[in-house]
Amino acid sequence: MSKRAPGSRSVTLKKIFRYFIQGVIILAPIGITAYVLYWLFERVDGILRPAVFAITGVNIPGIGFVIILLFVVLVGWISSNFLMGSAIHFFDHLMERTPGVKFIYSSTKDFFEAFAGDKKRFNRAVLANVFSDDVWIIGFLTDEEMRKFDMGVDKVAVYVPQAYNFAGQLYILPRMKVRKIEHITAGEAMKYSVTGGVVDLDAERDAKKKSELKTEME
C-alpha cells in the first residue's frame, strides 16, 4: 500500500480548512439574520399570544405577531384621518408636557423620526475631518444651526455611527471640515460605515441593477 506524502496531506488539510472558512462566510450571515428574525418574531409574538390563548383557547404560533402588526397599521391609518389625527396630536402634546415621561417619550419619538417620517435626519451623508488634517470619517449632517450652543453659524453637528454596533458619536465641527458625499446615497454611506468599509458598493449596485432589469423583463 502506498502512503500519502506529508506534503500532500498538508495541502489537503489546507483545502479543507479553506472550504470550512468559505462555508462560515456564506452561512454565518444567513444564520445570524435568521436567528435575529426568529428572536424578534418570538419576542413580539409572545406579547399577545398568551392573552389570546387565555381568552379564546386558540394557540396559533404567530397570531400575536400578526395582531400587533395589524394594530400598528391600524394606528397609522387612523392617524391619517383628520379627527383621529387631532386626537393623536393632543395625546402627543400631553405626553411631551408630562414631567418624567417627557424625556423618554420625546427622545424615543425623535429617534424613530430620524430614520423615517417627515423629520429624517440621516439622509445627508458627509465626510468629516476629525482628529488630524489627514483623517476623514463618514458621518451624517444632522444639524446646521449651532447658535443654541453659542457656537456660531460656522459650526455644524455630524453624527458618526460605529461599525458593527448600534451606537455612534456626535461631533460639532467647523463647517469647512465637512464635505458632502455626492456619489453615493445616504443608505449606502450608512451601510459602508457600519460594516467598517468592507461592503463592496459597486458590486451591490451592479447586483441591484441586474435584479431590477430582470424584474422589468418579467
Unique residue bearing C-alpha cell 470550512:
20
For residue range 157-201, list pLDDT tens digits in order. 998 988 877 778 888 999 999 999 888 888 888 888 888 887 777
pLDDT, residue 83, reads 57
Report in angstroms the alpha-carbon separations of 14 from 6, 11, 22, 167, 174.
Answer: 12, 5, 12, 38, 52
pTM recorded for the entire structure: 0.54
pLDDT, residue 65, reads 76
pLDDT for 16 beyond 70: yes
pLDDT, residue 112, reads 66
Q: Judge whether 141 and 128 are in contact, CB under 8 Å.
A: no
Mean pLDDT of the chain: 78
For residue range 75-134, list pLDDT tens digits in order. 777 766 655 566 667 777 777 677 766 667 776 776 666 666 556 667 788 999 988 888
pLDDT for 152 beyond 60: yes
Q: Judge whether 159 and 170 are in contact, CB under 8 Å.
A: yes
For residue range 203-216, list pLDDT tens digits in order. 777 777 777 777 77
Q: Judge whether 173 and 130 are in contact, CB under 8 Å.
A: yes
pLDDT, residue 178, reads 93
Q: Judge whether 129 and 136 are in contact, CB under 8 Å.
A: yes
